[in-house]
Amino acid sequence: MSARGATLLALFLSLAPPASAQDGPAPSGDQRRALAEIEKALASISRQDYAGALAAASGSIEAHPENPRALNLKAFALNRMGRYDESLAASEGSLGFKADNPEALRQVAFSRFCLGDSGEAELQAGRAIQLDPRNAESWGLRAIARRA
């Protein structure tokens, strides 16, 4: 990664974690546990405890495997830990459940950028912009990828 890319990467890392808005109701049992683990993951992220966030997101996925929100949080934590290949797998898993998921697309774009594929990063960030044009992170990520 170039010096300019590293600077732009640092700027992107200062952006916010995935939104905490609930994707849908959690009726009972495993889904309640999954939501509790998501809240733990968000709390860990706010403390910059990415290992804790990864553990909580993984617990949420264990409780409710078809959980794009938890997969997004797992991808975010893995990206922050520098585990880009694993983050990419989590993001792509999230997209398998919800293909029009701008957060997963942002995580894919970030992972691709860090893995040296700025063209694919730009493409995925552009897809995220199409789905959520008011999200500044998507625009910033696309700009970072273009300048790399």
pTM of the model: 0.81
pLDDT of res. 45:
97
pLDDT by residue (tens digit) across 74-100?
999 999 999 999 999 999 999 999 999
pLDDT by residue (tens digit) across 19-34?
544 455 545 688 899 9
- The conformational region for residue 116 under phi > 0 = left, psi -120 to 50 = alpha, else beta, is left
- Asked if residue 17 lies in contact with residue 73, where contact means CB atoms within 8 angstroms, the answer is yes
pLDDT of res. 28:
60
Computed on alpha carbons and rounded to an integer, the radius of gyration of the chain in Å comes to 15
